Structure 1
Amino acid sequence: MLTFLATFVVFVLVIFGMSLGWIVKRKSIQGSCGGISSLGMEKVCDCPEPCDARKKRMAREQQRII
């Protein structure tokens, strides 16, 4: 039981340490420099054409609009 309690305390301390930036400066955590755009990708999936399941989903959504 002591191991679980010690682990919980460590997790709480780590979370508190990570939140110090927000507590002190009110500045939230930011992502990496550039992210996907730095790879030259314009979207998350850089596929030239959507898969069949995506095409069906898009067709259903288009039917709902009409």
Structure 2
Amino acid sequence: MGTFLLGLLVTLLAFGGLALGVMLGRPPIRGSCGGLACIRGADCAGCPERRARGQQP
């Protein structure tokens, strides 16, 4: 039970820190554009690296 509470506390502190950063003017957290969705030849319409790799929009 102690381990669960410690894990919950760490998670809540992390989320609280992220929220505090956004409230103080930092940009919101963004997802990355990597991974299996952006491999060469795959449909990756939302990827900003698409044009850099020579694919059509």
Pick 1 or 2: higher relative contact order, CA cutoff 8 A, min separation 6.
Answer: 2
Which has the greater radius of gyration? Answer: 1
TM-score normalised to structure 2 length: 0.50
Q: Return the structure number with greater helix share.
A: 1
TM-score normalised to structure 1 length: 0.45
